[in-house]
Amino acid sequence: MKGQSISVFILSLLLPWSSVFSQFPGDGTRANGSKPTLDGFAEVAWEASYAQVRDKFLSLAANPQSDEKIEVVHEDKEKSLLVRRNGIMYLYRFYSTPKLVLDSRPKDKQARPERPAANPDEDEHIEPGKLFSVGVSFRYLPGKDVQSKLENKYGKPKKETLDDKKIGGAVIWELTDEREAPPKGGFVVQWKEAYKKQPFTRRVDYFSSKVKAQIEREYKEFFSAEEIKTLRDLIP
C-alpha cells in the first residue's frame, strides 16, 4: 500500500508537465528548408565570459518589470553558474585553458598581460572562463515528448545510444557547420532514464562544438605539459 501511495505521488508530479514544456528549450518549429544550428544557448552565445553571463542574470533577477522568476543559486567563479529560471535549473559551465598547459607552451614574442596574483585555490586557471555548455534539469517528463519537442526545433537526431532494453541512454543532435575547423555550432544530448519500464527524461545538455574540440586538444596537452615545461626549462 505504501508503494502504491509513492507511485501515485510521483505520477501526480508528472501530470502538469505542460507548464514545464512552456519553458523548455527547443520551443517552436524550424523554418521550412532551414538548417538548424546551435551558436549558443537561448540568448547567450558560446564563449561568453563568466562575468557577462553572471551580470546578465543578476540584472534580469533585479528587474522589477520582468515577469520571470530568476535566481542565481550557486556560483563557482570562472567555472560554473547555477540559475533557477521559472522553476527550471540551468547549469552554465565555463572553460579556461589550465595554467599548466599555458606554461608548457613556447613563450610568445609578446608576453601575455600580467594578472593579479591568484589565491592558491584559483591558481589552476589564469584566463577568464568562457561558456561551453549548459545543462538543463527539470522534473521527470516522458522521453518521447521531450524528443519530439527537440525534433521540432532541430530536426531528427544524428544518433541514439540506448541500453539493451532500449529505454535508457542518450539521443544526440549535431548542429554544426562542417565548413569551418573546428566546426562552428554545437550539439544537444537528451538523457533517457528508465521509470516503470518506460523512458523518461529529466536532463538535457547543450555543448559548443568549437570549445569541445579545444578541451579535447588541451586535455591531451595537459598530461604531457609538465614534461614539456621541464625540458624547455632545461634546454632554453
Instruction: Report the DSSP beta bridge partners of residue 200.
Output: 142, 193
Cell digits of residue 82: 547555477
In DSSP notation, 127-194 reads SPPEEEEEEEEEEEEEHHHHHHHHHHHH-S-SEEEE-TTSSSEEEEEEEEETTSSSPEEEEEEEEEEE
pLDDT at 204: 96
Query: Which H or E run includes 74?
Result: strand 70-76
**With contact defined as beta carbons under 8 Å apart, do 92 and 62 qualify?**
no
pLDDT at 93: 96
**With contact defined as beta carbons under 8 Å apart, do 113 and 102 qualify?**
no
pLDDT at 189: 95
Neighbours of 221 (CB within 10 A): 16
Find where cell 557577462 sits.
Answer: 52
Residue 97: burial class (beta carbons within 10 Å; 0-12, 13-18, 19+): middle
Residue ranges of the chain whose pLDDT lies below 50: 1-22, 26-29, 31, 109-113, 115-118, 120, 123, 225, 236
d(CA 48, CA 66): 23
pLDDT at 233: 56
